[in-house]
Copies of this chain bind each other. A is one copy, B any other.
Amino acid sequence: MLDLILNLDYQPLWITLQVATYTTILLIILGTPLALWLAKITGAKKAVLEAVVALPLVLPPTVLGFYLLVTMGPDGPVGQLWASMGFSPLTFSMTGLVIGSFLYSLPFAIQPLMHGFELMGKRPIEASASLGASKWDQFFSITLPLTRRHYLVGATLAFAHTVGEFGVILMLGGNIPGVTQVVSIAIYDHVEALEYSQAHILSAIMLVMSLLVLSIVYGVNRRLEVKVG
């Protein structure tokens, strides 16, 4: 057993961490203006856009991955555009994985953020504007701290979802050890190869680590908690 634990390939863990971190950061950065905008608009447009954001969820991840593979591959429209800008191919690369995970986890980040912005309402922003804070200042000194819990919910759901993500990554990333083989795929491979012990160990490591990280994140968040209203 100890032998198994020592001889396991831990690189997938590291790659998973990278993909999930990049994806989450990207979701937070790009998701913020999107969620701010969705929180502001009204009417039919809003309902449809909200639905569009939630759409990636309803396709099986492998199928979503397949369509992304087609679109982002060398012959696909996105892939060609990307290549014409002189970048190396998206598919089977970390960049591709991050983009795929981004799309797939988008609703988990956007929904809580949007909701947070709506709940906060205009009042705190009005108050900070009257106190001389510019738009950026308003966002960083008021909106961000007041919606911190929503950011946390969004970020943890998105992070956890990316860590467990499998179908999109397998399809788009190609299960290439050392490059795109994330831990979810590694566990899957062990199960496929009927190497149950290894699968159990990796799963246990994942669960314990996640439990630890999530507990700490939630615990710290509680401590800093702000109850609105």
Contacts and interface: CB of A to CB of B under 8 A. Distances in A.
Contacts of A62: 166, 188, 191
Nearest to A213: B51
A189 B68 CA distance: 17
Given A153-B115, A187-B63, A215-B51, A58 B210 contact: yes
**Interface of chain A, main secondary structure:** helix
A112 interface: yes
Contacts of A229: 119-121, 123, 228-229
Given A157-B108, A227-B121, A215 B61 contact: no
Given A60-B166, A61-B166, A62-B188, 8 more contacts: A44-B215, A47-B216, A47-B222, A51-B218, A58-B160, A59-B184, A63-B187, A115-B150
Interface of A: 42-44, 46-48, 50-52, 54-64, 66-67, 107-108, 111-112, 115, 118-121, 123, 149-150, 153, 156-157, 160-161, 163-167, 184-185, 187-188, 191, 199, 203, 206-207, 210-211, 214-219, 221-222, 227-229
